[in-house]
Amino acid sequence: MAATHQADKEKIKQEHEATIRETMVNSAKVFVTTSWDFIHSKMDTERGRRFFKEILHSIFFHCHIYRDTELNRQSINPEEILGETLQSELAVMYPDVFESYTSLLPRRSPFSILLEVVVETMAGRSEIDIRTELEKLNNKMIVHKSGGSSCGNDFCFGATVVSYSYFRSSSLETQKYFGASMSCSGRKATRIFISVACIETWNDNVAHAVCLAAKGHPSITLPDTVYSTAYRLHPPKKGGNNSHEYKELSPCELCLKIFPNVTFSSLHKKDQDKQFWNYGNCAECEAISNLLNGQTSISDETQELNASLEHNLEDLRAKRKNILRGHLNRFNFTVTPEARFYNS
């Protein structure tokens, strides 16, 4: 009897893992094909091809580290995502992507790349227009499960939250800079991408803020005239029209600790869920990083405001590199002596 019960548990576990893998593969494929169609319709240039290569590499890397020996998971390879024909075509067009996803790290998660494409191709348009375009893209990336039901692509590669930040003073109001939450499947992958962002991608001030908060230290000070607004993506309702919708969202407790003096547009406590993710997961980090990278005078002012911090960024990044190395070693992705990153 006990043996039968154990066999049933094992069967349920295997079926669950198979469902997760199927959704992962389908999410990867629909993200690649939707990104391809959008980029080539809006930005059929060398810059557009570089964006698509970066998306492709980030997706392949993510699926490569899907492996987990404890759960008997095996890596998902490009052919499993794309099919033999499309895989062959893209391998000819972008051979460096297929040669490097097992040895070079991506700088950001897939949705962050696609978000930059959307913002760049809609330059001068309002944040409402940008959100509407993102909703349309998410609608195209609905994944259908084998049972016929559907789920939002945010299960794997879509960003649950997008945010924009800007600087406003009596003499200046900057454009709005957008960012996305980490579009990763699983907490381990999310930790890897957050570490990568702290080491390589984000503005030094934001990397410093995230590393400080994660260690329980007081965070950095930003100029008092930095503003932030975030929106959560709500998936299609059952029986509805399969349409996503962004609704304004209050900052979580982690963001309030990372950016204690930023002016957030909404501070309704009832919006705040219990925080189970890592410092750096939120869209506000990327949005504020993009703001500081785009406005060097504000970034320099931030640097001056925090010049006397006890815990310097260099030391915190060194610790973060060790954390990253530990995460990657669990997936047999060796980083020695230094992490190397993919250049599209």
Question: What pLDDT, in 10s, does the model give residues 272-281?
Answer: 555 567 899 9
Judge whether 140 lies within some domain. Answer: yes
pLDDT at position 102 over 50: yes
In a domain, 42, yes or no: yes
Given a cut of 60, whether residue 198 has pLDDT beyond it is yes
- Which tokens belong to 279? 């410092």
pTM: 0.91
Question: Domain containing 185: what range?
Answer: 13-329
Averaged pLDDT for residues 120-125: 92
pLDDT of residue 313: 95
Decide if 289 contacts 206 (C-beta within 8 A). yes
pLDDT at 71 over 70: no
Residue 156 lies in a domain: yes
User: Per the domain annotation, does 342 fall within a domain?
Assistant: no
Alpha helices in the chain (DSSP H): 2-42, 46-64, 78-82, 84-93, 95-100, 110-121, 127-140, 187-196, 204-214, 253-258, 283-294, 296-305, 313-329
pLDDT band at 269, cuts 50/70/90? low
pLDDT at residue 150 greater than cutoff 60: no
Q: Is residue 111 part of a domain?
A: yes
**Residue 154 confidence (pLDDT):** 41
Instruction: Please name the residue that has the structure tokens 């570490």.
Output: 195
Question: Residue 45 class from Cβ within 10 Å (0-12 exposed, 13-18 middle, 19+ buried)?
Answer: exposed
Question: Residue 52: which pLDDT band, with cuts at 50, 70 and 90?
Answer: very high
Residue 141 forms part of a structural domain: yes
Rounded to a whole number, what is the distance in angstroms from the first to the last CA of the chain? 57
DSSP string, 193-252: HHHHIIIIIS-HHHHHHHHHHHTT-------TTEEEEEEEEEPPPTTS-S--EEEEEPPP
- Residue 268 has a pLDDT of 61
Whether residue 127 is contained in a domain is answered as yes
- Is the distance from CB of 58 to CB of 341 less than 8 angstroms? no
- Split at pLDDT 50, 70, 90, the class of 336 is low
What is the β-pairing status of strands 161-167 and 245-249?
Answer: unpaired
Residues 233-259: tens digit of each pLDDT:
887 776 666 688 899 999 999 999 999
pLDDT value of residue 327: 87
**Mean pLDDT score of the chain, rounded to an integer?**
87
Determine, yes or no, domain membership for 344. Answer: no
Q: Give the pLDDT of residue 186.
A: 75
Handedness of CA 249, 255, 259, 261 (dihedral sign): positive
pLDDT at 149 over 70: no
* pLDDT of 15: 75
Low-confidence winner among 143-147, 168-172, 245-249 (lowest mean pLDDT)? 143-147
What is the pLDDT confidence band of residue 9, given thresholds at 50, 70 and 90?
low
pLDDT of 187 > 90? The answer is no
pLDDT score at 143:
76
Can you read off the two tokens belonging to residue 177?
């800079």
143-144/150-151 β-pairing: antiparallel
Q: Which of 19-23, 165-169, 178-182 has the lowest mean pLDDT?
A: 19-23
Q: In the chain, how many domains are there?
A: 1
Region 27-52: what's the mean pLDDT? 94
Higher per-residue pLDDT: 21 or 213: 213
